[in-house]
Amino acid sequence: MNKTTMNAGSMNCLLSIAWLIVVLPFAVPVAAQAQSANDRGQPDWSNVRKVIQEQMVARATPSIAVAVARDGKILWEAGFGWADRENRIPATEHTMYYTASITKTFTETALLLLQERKQLDLDRPVNDYLGAAKLSSPAWNPAEATVRRVATHTAGLTTFNPIRPLSMEEMIGRYGVLFWPPGERFDYSNLGAIVLQEVVARVSGQSFGAFLRHEIFWPLGMTHASLGIGRGLERYAARRYNSKDGLQPDREGGVYCSAHDLALFGIFHLKAHLPEQKAILSDTSIDTMQNSTVATSFGKYGFAWSIEEDRYGYRSVLAQGGTDADQAWLRLIPAEGIAVVALSNIGNAPTSQIVDEILSTLLPTYGEQRAKAIAAPRNAPRNAEEQPPAQTFVGKWAGIVRTYRGDIPLTFSVQPSGDVHAKLGSQLGTLLNDVRFRPQQLSGRMAGDLGVDDAGATPYNLHFYLYLRDGALKGAVVTEPSPGLPFWTELKKVAEATSDHKQ
Protein backbone atom coordinates (compact mmCIF):
# COMPACT_ATOMS: atom_id res chain seq x y z
CA MET A 1 0.00 0.00 0.00
CA ASN A 2 1.25 3.51 -0.86
CA LYS A 3 1.57 5.30 2.49
CA THR A 4 1.68 8.87 1.22
CA THR A 5 -0.07 11.98 2.44
CA MET A 6 -0.21 13.56 -1.03
CA ASN A 7 -3.63 13.89 -2.57
CA ALA A 8 -4.49 12.01 -5.76
CA GLY A 9 -4.33 15.10 -7.98
CA SER A 10 -0.82 16.00 -6.87
CA MET A 11 0.38 12.45 -7.31
CA ASN A 12 -1.09 12.19 -10.83
CA CYS A 13 0.59 15.46 -11.78
CA LEU A 14 3.98 14.28 -10.58
CA LEU A 15 3.56 10.93 -12.36
CA SER A 16 2.71 12.69 -15.60
CA ILE A 17 5.78 14.89 -15.34
CA ALA A 18 7.93 11.88 -14.56
CA TRP A 19 6.66 9.98 -17.58
CA LEU A 20 7.22 12.96 -19.85
CA ILE A 21 10.83 13.06 -18.70
CA VAL A 22 11.16 9.33 -19.38
CA VAL A 23 9.42 9.19 -22.74
CA LEU A 24 10.20 12.36 -24.63
CA PRO A 25 13.99 12.04 -24.94
CA PHE A 26 13.46 8.90 -27.00
CA ALA A 27 10.45 9.99 -29.03
CA VAL A 28 12.40 11.22 -32.09
CA PRO A 29 13.01 8.47 -34.66
CA VAL A 30 16.49 7.91 -36.02
CA ALA A 31 15.31 8.66 -39.57
CA ALA A 32 14.42 12.21 -38.53
CA GLN A 33 18.02 13.02 -37.57
CA ALA A 34 19.10 13.44 -41.18
CA GLN A 35 16.21 15.49 -42.51
CA SER A 36 12.57 16.04 -41.84
CA ALA A 37 9.88 13.85 -43.36
CA ASN A 38 8.47 16.85 -45.24
CA ASP A 39 11.88 17.58 -46.79
CA ARG A 40 11.81 14.08 -48.30
CA GLY A 41 8.24 14.49 -49.48
CA GLN A 42 7.03 11.97 -46.92
CA PRO A 43 3.89 12.18 -44.79
CA ASP A 44 3.92 14.42 -41.74
CA TRP A 45 3.99 12.09 -38.73
CA SER A 46 3.91 14.86 -36.13
CA ASN A 47 0.32 14.18 -35.08
CA VAL A 48 1.06 10.46 -34.75
CA ARG A 49 4.09 11.24 -32.56
CA LYS A 50 1.92 13.51 -30.45
CA VAL A 51 -0.73 10.83 -29.97
CA ILE A 52 1.91 8.25 -29.04
CA GLN A 53 3.55 10.54 -26.50
CA GLU A 54 0.25 11.60 -24.93
CA GLN A 55 -1.05 8.06 -24.70
CA MET A 56 2.18 6.73 -23.25
CA VAL A 57 2.02 9.31 -20.48
CA ALA A 58 -1.69 8.71 -19.85
CA ARG A 59 -1.26 4.93 -19.62
CA ALA A 60 2.22 4.76 -18.09
CA THR A 61 3.42 2.79 -21.12
CA PRO A 62 7.08 1.69 -20.98
CA SER A 63 7.61 1.68 -24.76
CA ILE A 64 6.05 1.55 -28.19
CA ALA A 65 7.70 0.81 -31.52
CA VAL A 66 6.13 1.51 -34.92
CA ALA A 67 6.91 0.87 -38.57
CA VAL A 68 5.07 1.94 -41.72
CA ALA A 69 5.64 0.57 -45.22
CA ARG A 70 4.07 1.35 -48.57
CA ASP A 71 4.77 -0.17 -51.97
CA GLY A 72 7.67 -2.16 -50.61
CA LYS A 73 9.42 0.74 -48.88
CA ILE A 74 9.55 1.54 -45.18
CA LEU A 75 8.39 5.14 -44.85
CA TRP A 76 8.89 5.56 -41.11
CA GLU A 77 9.99 3.51 -38.14
CA ALA A 78 10.70 4.57 -34.59
CA GLY A 79 10.94 3.54 -30.97
CA PHE A 80 9.49 5.50 -28.07
CA GLY A 81 10.26 5.10 -24.37
CA TRP A 82 12.11 2.30 -22.60
CA ALA A 83 12.55 -1.26 -23.82
CA ASP A 84 14.07 -1.96 -20.40
CA ARG A 85 12.81 0.54 -17.83
CA GLU A 86 15.05 -0.63 -14.99
CA ASN A 87 18.27 -0.36 -17.00
CA ARG A 88 17.21 2.67 -19.06
CA ILE A 89 17.59 0.97 -22.43
CA PRO A 90 15.63 2.91 -25.06
CA ALA A 91 13.31 1.25 -27.55
CA THR A 92 14.16 1.38 -31.25
CA GLU A 93 12.67 -0.02 -34.42
CA HIS A 94 14.95 -3.03 -33.88
CA THR A 95 13.75 -3.80 -30.34
CA MET A 96 12.19 -7.27 -30.24
CA TYR A 97 8.73 -7.58 -28.66
CA TYR A 98 6.72 -10.66 -27.83
CA THR A 99 4.09 -10.87 -30.59
CA ALA A 100 1.71 -13.37 -28.91
CA SER A 101 -0.87 -14.56 -31.46
CA ILE A 102 0.92 -13.05 -34.43
CA THR A 103 2.99 -16.21 -34.02
CA LYS A 104 0.01 -17.98 -35.64
CA THR A 105 0.57 -15.99 -38.85
CA PHE A 106 4.16 -17.22 -39.00
CA THR A 107 2.99 -20.78 -38.26
CA GLU A 108 0.44 -20.76 -41.04
CA THR A 109 2.90 -19.21 -43.46
CA ALA A 110 5.01 -22.28 -42.69
CA LEU A 111 2.04 -24.57 -43.42
CA LEU A 112 1.47 -23.06 -46.85
CA LEU A 113 5.19 -23.30 -47.56
CA LEU A 114 5.16 -27.03 -46.77
CA GLN A 115 2.05 -27.50 -48.89
CA GLU A 116 3.77 -25.87 -51.85
CA ARG A 117 6.63 -28.33 -51.39
CA LYS A 118 4.04 -31.14 -51.43
CA GLN A 119 5.10 -32.25 -47.97
CA LEU A 120 1.68 -31.53 -46.47
CA ASP A 121 -1.95 -31.56 -47.58
CA LEU A 122 -4.20 -28.98 -45.90
CA ASP A 123 -7.24 -31.21 -46.37
CA ARG A 124 -5.84 -34.34 -44.76
CA PRO A 125 -6.61 -35.11 -41.09
CA VAL A 126 -4.20 -33.27 -38.83
CA ASN A 127 -3.75 -36.53 -36.90
CA ASP A 128 -1.93 -37.94 -39.95
CA TYR A 129 0.93 -35.58 -39.14
CA LEU A 130 1.07 -36.08 -35.37
CA GLY A 131 2.83 -38.64 -33.22
CA ALA A 132 1.32 -40.90 -30.57
CA ALA A 133 -0.76 -38.10 -29.05
CA LYS A 134 -3.64 -37.24 -31.37
CA LEU A 135 -6.84 -35.21 -31.34
CA SER A 136 -9.80 -37.19 -30.03
CA SER A 137 -13.50 -36.82 -29.29
CA PRO A 138 -16.18 -38.75 -27.39
CA ALA A 139 -18.74 -37.68 -29.99
CA TRP A 140 -17.22 -36.57 -33.29
CA ASN A 141 -14.95 -38.07 -35.93
CA PRO A 142 -11.34 -36.80 -35.47
CA ALA A 143 -10.57 -37.61 -39.10
CA GLU A 144 -12.71 -34.61 -40.04
CA ALA A 145 -10.36 -32.29 -38.13
CA THR A 146 -8.20 -31.41 -41.12
CA VAL A 147 -5.10 -29.23 -41.11
CA ARG A 148 -7.16 -26.51 -42.82
CA ARG A 149 -9.86 -26.63 -40.16
CA VAL A 150 -7.35 -26.50 -37.33
CA ALA A 151 -5.70 -23.50 -39.04
CA THR A 152 -9.03 -21.67 -39.40
CA HIS A 153 -10.25 -22.60 -35.87
CA THR A 154 -13.12 -24.69 -37.16
CA ALA A 155 -11.86 -28.18 -36.19
CA GLY A 156 -13.90 -28.36 -32.96
CA LEU A 157 -11.18 -27.36 -30.49
CA THR A 158 -11.93 -24.64 -27.94
CA THR A 159 -10.30 -22.39 -25.33
CA PHE A 160 -6.86 -23.37 -24.04
CA ASN A 161 -4.68 -21.12 -21.86
CA PRO A 162 -2.57 -23.13 -19.41
CA ILE A 163 -0.52 -21.69 -16.54
CA ARG A 164 1.91 -24.57 -16.09
CA PRO A 165 4.24 -25.99 -18.75
CA LEU A 166 3.12 -29.20 -20.38
CA SER A 167 4.82 -31.48 -22.85
CA MET A 168 3.34 -31.72 -26.34
CA GLU A 169 2.03 -35.21 -25.55
CA GLU A 170 0.36 -33.99 -22.36
CA MET A 171 -1.23 -30.98 -24.05
CA ILE A 172 -2.69 -32.92 -26.94
CA GLY A 173 -3.59 -35.98 -24.87
CA ARG A 174 -5.38 -34.02 -22.15
CA TYR A 175 -6.90 -31.13 -24.08
CA GLY A 176 -6.87 -32.08 -27.75
CA VAL A 177 -10.58 -32.85 -27.58
CA LEU A 178 -13.05 -31.95 -30.33
CA PHE A 179 -15.92 -30.37 -28.44
CA TRP A 180 -17.91 -29.40 -31.54
CA PRO A 181 -18.42 -31.21 -34.84
CA PRO A 182 -15.49 -30.35 -37.16
CA GLY A 183 -16.49 -27.66 -39.62
CA GLU A 184 -19.54 -26.52 -37.65
CA ARG A 185 -18.31 -23.29 -36.08
CA PHE A 186 -15.39 -20.92 -35.53
CA ASP A 187 -13.95 -21.25 -32.03
CA TYR A 188 -10.59 -19.54 -31.47
CA SER A 189 -8.18 -22.06 -29.96
CA ASN A 190 -4.58 -21.52 -28.93
CA LEU A 191 -4.17 -25.28 -28.71
CA GLY A 192 -4.84 -25.60 -32.43
CA ALA A 193 -1.91 -23.28 -33.11
CA ILE A 194 0.36 -25.38 -30.87
CA VAL A 195 -0.75 -28.53 -32.69
CA LEU A 196 0.20 -26.90 -36.00
CA GLN A 197 3.65 -26.02 -34.67
CA GLU A 198 4.11 -29.72 -33.94
CA VAL A 199 2.92 -30.55 -37.47
CA VAL A 200 5.49 -28.16 -38.98
CA ALA A 201 8.27 -29.69 -36.89
CA ARG A 202 7.36 -33.30 -37.71
CA VAL A 203 6.82 -32.73 -41.43
CA SER A 204 9.98 -30.63 -41.90
CA GLY A 205 12.25 -32.70 -39.68
CA GLN A 206 13.41 -29.52 -37.92
CA SER A 207 12.43 -27.92 -34.65
CA PHE A 208 9.70 -25.34 -35.13
CA GLY A 209 12.08 -22.53 -34.15
CA ALA A 210 14.75 -23.72 -36.58
CA PHE A 211 12.20 -23.95 -39.41
CA LEU A 212 11.04 -20.38 -38.82
CA ARG A 213 14.62 -19.15 -38.70
CA HIS A 214 15.87 -20.94 -41.80
CA GLU A 215 12.76 -20.88 -43.99
CA ILE A 216 10.99 -17.62 -43.10
CA PHE A 217 12.97 -15.13 -41.02
CA TRP A 218 16.34 -15.19 -42.79
CA PRO A 219 14.95 -15.47 -46.36
CA LEU A 220 12.81 -12.39 -45.68
CA GLY A 221 15.70 -10.42 -44.15
CA MET A 222 14.27 -10.64 -40.63
CA THR A 223 17.40 -10.62 -38.48
CA HIS A 224 15.62 -9.49 -35.29
CA ALA A 225 12.99 -12.23 -35.10
CA SER A 226 13.08 -15.59 -33.33
CA LEU A 227 10.95 -18.15 -31.54
CA GLY A 228 11.42 -17.06 -27.96
CA ILE A 229 14.49 -14.90 -27.43
CA GLY A 230 17.10 -16.44 -29.71
CA ARG A 231 20.69 -16.88 -28.64
CA GLY A 232 22.67 -13.72 -29.29
CA LEU A 233 19.50 -11.58 -29.45
CA GLU A 234 19.03 -11.12 -25.70
CA ARG A 235 20.13 -7.47 -25.72
CA TYR A 236 17.44 -6.58 -28.26
CA ALA A 237 14.48 -8.04 -26.34
CA ALA A 238 12.06 -5.67 -24.61
CA ARG A 239 11.24 -6.43 -21.00
CA ARG A 240 7.57 -7.20 -20.39
CA TYR A 241 5.40 -5.21 -17.95
CA ASN A 242 1.97 -5.68 -16.47
CA SER A 243 0.12 -2.50 -15.46
CA LYS A 244 -0.82 -4.08 -12.13
CA ASP A 245 2.15 -6.28 -11.18
CA GLY A 246 5.08 -4.64 -12.97
CA LEU A 247 7.94 -6.59 -14.53
CA GLN A 248 7.00 -9.99 -15.96
CA PRO A 249 9.19 -12.93 -17.07
CA ASP A 250 10.09 -13.54 -20.70
CA ARG A 251 7.74 -15.77 -22.69
CA GLU A 252 8.60 -19.01 -24.45
CA GLY A 253 6.81 -20.65 -27.32
CA GLY A 254 5.93 -17.49 -29.26
CA VAL A 255 7.73 -15.24 -31.70
CA TYR A 256 9.68 -12.15 -30.62
CA CYS A 257 10.05 -9.65 -33.44
CA SER A 258 11.05 -6.04 -34.07
CA ALA A 259 8.81 -3.45 -35.70
CA HIS A 260 11.24 -3.24 -38.64
CA ASP A 261 11.17 -7.00 -39.23
CA LEU A 262 7.41 -7.31 -38.80
CA ALA A 263 7.04 -4.61 -41.46
CA LEU A 264 9.26 -6.73 -43.76
CA PHE A 265 6.95 -9.68 -43.09
CA GLY A 266 3.97 -7.48 -43.96
CA ILE A 267 5.65 -6.28 -47.15
CA PHE A 268 6.10 -9.88 -48.25
CA HIS A 269 2.43 -10.68 -47.57
CA LEU A 270 1.53 -7.66 -49.71
CA LYS A 271 3.33 -9.39 -52.59
CA ALA A 272 5.83 -6.55 -53.04
CA HIS A 273 8.57 -8.90 -54.35
CA LEU A 274 11.60 -7.11 -52.96
CA PRO A 275 14.86 -8.25 -54.62
CA GLU A 276 16.44 -8.84 -51.21
CA GLN A 277 13.60 -11.13 -50.11
CA LYS A 278 13.29 -14.74 -51.20
CA ALA A 279 9.87 -15.68 -52.56
CA ILE A 280 9.18 -18.29 -49.90
CA LEU A 281 5.50 -18.43 -50.96
CA SER A 282 3.75 -17.97 -54.27
CA ASP A 283 1.23 -15.18 -54.67
CA THR A 284 -1.43 -17.90 -54.92
CA SER A 285 -0.60 -19.17 -51.43
CA ILE A 286 -0.59 -15.63 -50.06
CA ASP A 287 -4.07 -15.19 -51.55
CA THR A 288 -5.13 -18.47 -49.96
CA MET A 289 -4.12 -17.19 -46.53
CA GLN A 290 -6.05 -13.93 -46.96
CA ASN A 291 -9.04 -15.04 -49.04
CA SER A 292 -9.93 -18.57 -47.90
CA THR A 293 -12.00 -17.37 -45.00
CA VAL A 294 -14.60 -18.59 -42.53
CA ALA A 295 -17.33 -16.50 -40.93
CA THR A 296 -16.87 -15.25 -37.37
CA SER A 297 -18.70 -12.93 -34.99
CA PHE A 298 -16.25 -10.14 -35.89
CA GLY A 299 -16.10 -10.59 -39.67
CA LYS A 300 -14.00 -13.17 -41.50
CA TYR A 301 -10.94 -15.21 -40.61
CA GLY A 302 -8.44 -16.72 -43.03
CA PHE A 303 -5.15 -18.43 -42.30
CA ALA A 304 -4.25 -16.46 -39.15
CA TRP A 305 -5.49 -13.20 -40.71
CA SER A 306 -8.66 -11.39 -39.56
CA ILE A 307 -10.39 -9.83 -42.54
CA GLU A 308 -12.55 -6.69 -42.51
CA GLU A 309 -14.09 -6.07 -45.91
CA ASP A 310 -14.83 -2.43 -45.10
CA ARG A 311 -12.72 -0.72 -42.47
CA TYR A 312 -13.23 2.99 -43.00
CA GLY A 313 -13.49 2.46 -46.75
CA TYR A 314 -10.74 -0.13 -47.23
CA ARG A 315 -10.32 -3.89 -47.03
CA SER A 316 -8.12 -4.64 -44.04
CA VAL A 317 -6.06 -7.74 -43.26
CA LEU A 318 -5.02 -7.94 -39.61
CA ALA A 319 -2.68 -10.07 -37.52
CA GLN A 320 -2.91 -9.17 -33.84
CA GLY A 321 -1.73 -10.59 -30.55
CA GLY A 322 -1.66 -9.55 -26.94
CA THR A 323 -1.35 -10.58 -23.31
CA ASP A 324 -1.52 -8.58 -20.09
CA ALA A 325 2.11 -7.60 -20.80
CA ASP A 326 2.26 -7.31 -24.60
CA GLN A 327 0.51 -5.81 -27.60
CA ALA A 328 1.36 -6.50 -31.25
CA TRP A 329 -0.50 -5.26 -34.33
CA LEU A 330 0.19 -5.73 -38.03
CA ARG A 331 -2.51 -4.28 -40.27
CA LEU A 332 -2.34 -4.50 -44.07
CA ILE A 333 -4.33 -2.46 -46.57
CA PRO A 334 -3.62 -4.58 -49.67
CA ALA A 335 -5.26 -2.25 -52.20
CA GLU A 336 -2.83 0.52 -51.16
CA GLY A 337 0.23 -1.67 -50.54
CA ILE A 338 0.37 -0.48 -46.92
CA ALA A 339 1.63 -2.34 -43.85
CA VAL A 340 1.49 -0.74 -40.38
CA VAL A 341 3.10 -2.18 -37.25
CA ALA A 342 2.69 -1.15 -33.62
CA LEU A 343 4.30 -3.08 -30.75
CA SER A 344 4.42 -2.52 -27.01
CA ASN A 345 5.73 -4.20 -23.87
CA ILE A 346 2.60 -3.67 -21.78
CA GLY A 347 -0.89 -5.05 -22.18
CA ASN A 348 -2.93 -1.84 -22.07
CA ALA A 349 -0.97 0.02 -24.76
CA PRO A 350 -3.05 1.95 -27.34
CA THR A 351 -1.54 0.10 -30.31
CA SER A 352 -4.82 -0.18 -32.22
CA GLN A 353 -5.39 3.57 -31.93
CA ILE A 354 -1.84 4.27 -33.10
CA VAL A 355 -2.28 2.06 -36.16
CA ASP A 356 -5.49 3.95 -37.00
CA GLU A 357 -3.73 7.30 -36.57
CA ILE A 358 -1.01 6.21 -38.98
CA LEU A 359 -3.53 5.02 -41.57
CA SER A 360 -5.51 8.23 -41.16
CA THR A 361 -2.34 10.17 -41.99
CA LEU A 362 -1.65 8.06 -45.09
CA LEU A 363 -5.21 7.70 -46.38
CA PRO A 364 -7.54 10.75 -46.25
CA THR A 365 -10.66 8.63 -46.84
CA TYR A 366 -9.71 6.34 -43.96
CA GLY A 367 -9.23 9.35 -41.69
CA GLU A 368 -12.49 10.99 -42.73
CA GLN A 369 -14.62 7.88 -42.24
CA ARG A 370 -12.89 7.11 -38.96
CA ALA A 371 -13.61 10.65 -37.71
CA LYS A 372 -17.27 10.28 -38.69
CA ALA A 373 -17.51 6.95 -36.89
CA ILE A 374 -15.99 8.44 -33.74
CA ALA A 375 -18.31 11.46 -33.85
CA ALA A 376 -21.46 9.46 -34.59
CA PRO A 377 -23.79 9.06 -31.61
CA ARG A 378 -23.81 5.59 -30.23
CA ASN A 379 -26.93 3.90 -29.00
CA ALA A 380 -26.58 2.42 -25.55
CA PRO A 381 -26.19 -1.33 -25.83
CA ARG A 382 -29.34 -3.21 -25.01
CA ASN A 383 -29.18 -6.15 -22.72
CA ALA A 384 -30.31 -9.27 -24.47
CA GLU A 385 -33.67 -10.34 -23.22
CA GLU A 386 -33.48 -13.32 -20.92
CA GLN A 387 -35.06 -16.28 -22.61
CA PRO A 388 -36.91 -18.72 -20.38
CA PRO A 389 -35.80 -22.31 -20.88
CA ALA A 390 -37.61 -24.27 -23.53
CA GLN A 391 -39.56 -27.22 -22.20
CA THR A 392 -36.91 -29.54 -23.59
CA PHE A 393 -34.44 -28.12 -21.03
CA VAL A 394 -36.70 -28.27 -17.98
CA GLY A 395 -36.07 -31.25 -15.75
CA LYS A 396 -33.19 -33.17 -14.20
CA TRP A 397 -30.02 -34.01 -16.11
CA ALA A 398 -27.24 -36.36 -15.04
CA GLY A 399 -23.84 -36.97 -16.56
CA ILE A 400 -20.12 -36.36 -16.19
CA VAL A 401 -17.25 -33.95 -16.59
CA ARG A 402 -14.37 -35.92 -18.13
CA THR A 403 -10.85 -34.99 -17.02
CA TYR A 404 -7.50 -36.68 -17.52
CA ARG A 405 -7.87 -37.96 -13.94
CA GLY A 406 -11.24 -39.55 -14.59
CA ASP A 407 -14.95 -38.76 -14.80
CA ILE A 408 -16.67 -36.56 -12.19
CA PRO A 409 -20.46 -36.96 -11.75
CA LEU A 410 -22.49 -33.85 -12.59
CA THR A 411 -26.21 -33.14 -12.25
CA PHE A 412 -28.30 -30.17 -13.39
CA SER A 413 -31.87 -29.48 -12.33
CA VAL A 414 -33.40 -26.94 -14.71
CA GLN A 415 -36.42 -25.15 -13.25
CA PRO A 416 -39.24 -23.61 -15.35
CA SER A 417 -38.16 -20.23 -13.88
CA GLY A 418 -34.74 -20.61 -15.49
CA ASP A 419 -32.85 -21.40 -12.30
CA VAL A 420 -30.35 -24.23 -12.71
CA HIS A 421 -29.31 -26.19 -9.62
CA ALA A 422 -25.96 -27.93 -10.13
CA LYS A 423 -23.99 -30.50 -8.19
CA LEU A 424 -20.46 -31.61 -9.09
CA GLY A 425 -19.28 -34.85 -7.50
CA SER A 426 -19.45 -34.72 -3.71
CA GLN A 427 -19.19 -30.91 -3.64
CA LEU A 428 -22.00 -28.78 -2.28
CA GLY A 429 -24.88 -28.09 -4.60
CA THR A 430 -25.04 -24.60 -6.06
CA LEU A 431 -26.83 -22.43 -8.58
CA LEU A 432 -25.46 -21.67 -12.02
CA ASN A 433 -24.80 -17.95 -12.43
CA ASP A 434 -25.17 -15.95 -15.66
CA VAL A 435 -27.42 -18.66 -17.10
CA ARG A 436 -28.28 -18.18 -20.76
CA PHE A 437 -30.80 -20.22 -22.73
CA ARG A 438 -30.66 -19.96 -26.48
CA PRO A 439 -32.10 -22.29 -29.11
CA GLN A 440 -30.47 -25.64 -28.35
CA GLN A 441 -27.87 -23.99 -26.08
CA LEU A 442 -27.31 -23.63 -22.34
CA SER A 443 -24.44 -21.77 -20.69
CA GLY A 444 -23.61 -20.64 -17.18
CA ARG A 445 -20.96 -20.38 -14.46
CA MET A 446 -20.45 -21.94 -11.05
CA ALA A 447 -17.70 -22.36 -8.48
CA GLY A 448 -16.14 -25.80 -8.46
CA ASP A 449 -12.98 -27.86 -8.30
CA LEU A 450 -12.12 -30.46 -10.94
CA GLY A 451 -9.19 -31.81 -8.95
CA VAL A 452 -6.67 -31.42 -11.78
CA ASP A 453 -3.09 -30.27 -11.20
CA ASP A 454 -3.01 -28.15 -14.37
CA ALA A 455 -5.53 -25.70 -12.91
CA GLY A 456 -3.17 -24.61 -10.11
CA ALA A 457 -4.02 -23.84 -6.52
CA THR A 458 -5.96 -20.59 -7.05
CA PRO A 459 -9.76 -21.02 -6.89
CA TYR A 460 -11.44 -20.81 -10.28
CA ASN A 461 -14.91 -20.87 -11.78
CA LEU A 462 -16.36 -23.38 -14.22
CA HIS A 463 -18.00 -21.99 -17.34
CA PHE A 464 -20.30 -24.42 -19.15
CA TYR A 465 -20.96 -24.23 -22.91
CA LEU A 466 -23.48 -26.96 -23.72
CA TYR A 467 -25.52 -27.79 -26.82
CA LEU A 468 -28.60 -29.99 -27.06
CA ARG A 469 -27.74 -32.80 -29.47
CA ASP A 470 -29.57 -36.10 -29.90
CA GLY A 471 -31.39 -35.59 -26.62
CA ALA A 472 -28.21 -34.93 -24.61
CA LEU A 473 -26.39 -31.79 -23.48
CA LYS A 474 -22.86 -32.00 -24.89
CA GLY A 475 -19.97 -29.57 -24.91
CA ALA A 476 -17.25 -28.07 -22.75
CA VAL A 477 -16.69 -26.74 -19.29
CA VAL A 478 -13.78 -24.29 -19.15
CA THR A 479 -11.88 -23.23 -16.04
CA GLU A 480 -11.66 -19.45 -15.71
CA PRO A 481 -10.42 -16.79 -15.48
CA SER A 482 -6.99 -18.41 -15.38
CA PRO A 483 -6.10 -20.92 -16.55
CA GLY A 484 -8.51 -21.60 -19.38
CA LEU A 485 -8.67 -25.38 -19.60
CA PRO A 486 -11.51 -27.23 -21.38
CA PHE A 487 -13.05 -30.54 -20.35
CA TRP A 488 -15.68 -32.65 -22.06
CA THR A 489 -19.13 -32.47 -20.44
CA GLU A 490 -22.17 -34.57 -21.28
CA LEU A 491 -25.54 -34.91 -19.52
CA LYS A 492 -28.65 -36.89 -20.33
CA LYS A 493 -32.14 -36.15 -19.14
CA VAL A 494 -33.34 -38.29 -16.27
CA ALA A 495 -36.77 -39.84 -16.89
CA GLU A 496 -39.41 -38.46 -14.53
CA ALA A 497 -41.38 -40.94 -12.38
CA THR A 498 -44.87 -41.50 -13.72
CA SER A 499 -47.91 -40.56 -11.65
CA ASP A 500 -49.02 -44.20 -11.22
CA HIS A 501 -45.65 -45.29 -9.92
CA LYS A 502 -46.20 -47.26 -6.73
CA GLN A 503 -44.39 -45.96 -3.68
Q: What is the pLDDT of residues 150-184, one digit of tens each?
A: 999 999 999 999 988 899 999 999 999 999 999 99
Query: How far apart (Å, rounded) are the C-alpha atoms in residues 453 and 165?
Result: 11
8-state DSSP, 337 = T
pTM for the structure as a whole: 0.89
204 in Cβ contact with 181 (< 8 Å)? no
| Nearest residue to 69 (alpha-carbon basis) of 264, 274, 339, 271 | 339
Q: Which SS3 state, helix, strand or coil, does residue 399 take?
A: strand
> For residue 228, is it left (φ>0), alpha (ψ between -120 and 50) or beta?
left
Query: How far apart (Å, rounded) are the C-alpha atoms in residues 421 and 441?
Result: 17
If pLDDT is split at 50, 70 and 90, which confidence band does 370 have? very high
If pLDDT is split at 50, 70 and 90, which confidence band does 495 have? confident
If pLDDT is split at 50, 70 and 90, which confidence band does 499 have? very low
423 in Cβ contact with 401 (< 8 Å)? no
> pLDDT tens across 212-221, in order?
999 999 999 9
Q: Tell me how crowded residue 313 is: count the other CB atoms within 10 A of its CB.
A: 15
Query: How far apart (Å, rounded) are the C-alpha atoms in residues 252 and 273?
Result: 32
> pLDDT tens across 109-154, in order?
999 999 999 999 999 999 999 999 999 999 999 999 999 999 999 9
Query: How far apart (Å, rounded) are the C-alpha atoms in residues 80 and 85?
Result: 12
Q: What was the pLDDT predicted at 381? A: 58
- 432, HSE (Cβ side, Cα atoms, 13 Å): 28
If pLDDT is split at 50, 70 and 90, which confidence band does 497 have? low
Query: How far apart (Å, rounded) are the C-alpha atoms in residues 152 and 207?
Result: 23
What's CA 473's distance to the chain center, in Å? 29
Mean pLDDT (whole number) for 77-81: 98
Q: What was the pLDDT predicted at 484? A: 95
Q: Where are the domains of the chain?
A: 9-100+242-277+290-374, 395-493
8-state DSSP, 125 = B
Q: Which SS3 state, helix, strand or coil, does residue 248 take?
A: strand
127 in Cβ contact with 199 (< 8 Å)? no
- State the Cα angle at 184 between 180 and 190, rounded to 5°: 60
If pLDDT is split at 50, 70 and 90, which confidence band does 389 have? confident
Q: Does pLDDT of 73 surpass 50?
A: yes
Q: What was the pLDDT predicted at 39? A: 41
Q: Does pLDDT of 379 surpass 60?
A: yes
Query: How far apart (Å, rounded) are the C-alpha atoms in residues 432 and 215?
Result: 50
Work out the mean pLDDT of the chain and round it to a whole number: 90
The CATH architecture of the domain made up of 9-100+242-277+290-374 is 3-Layer(aba) Sandwich (3.40)
CATH T-level topology, domain 395-493: Lipocalin (2.40.128)
Q: What was the pLDDT predicted at 383? A: 54
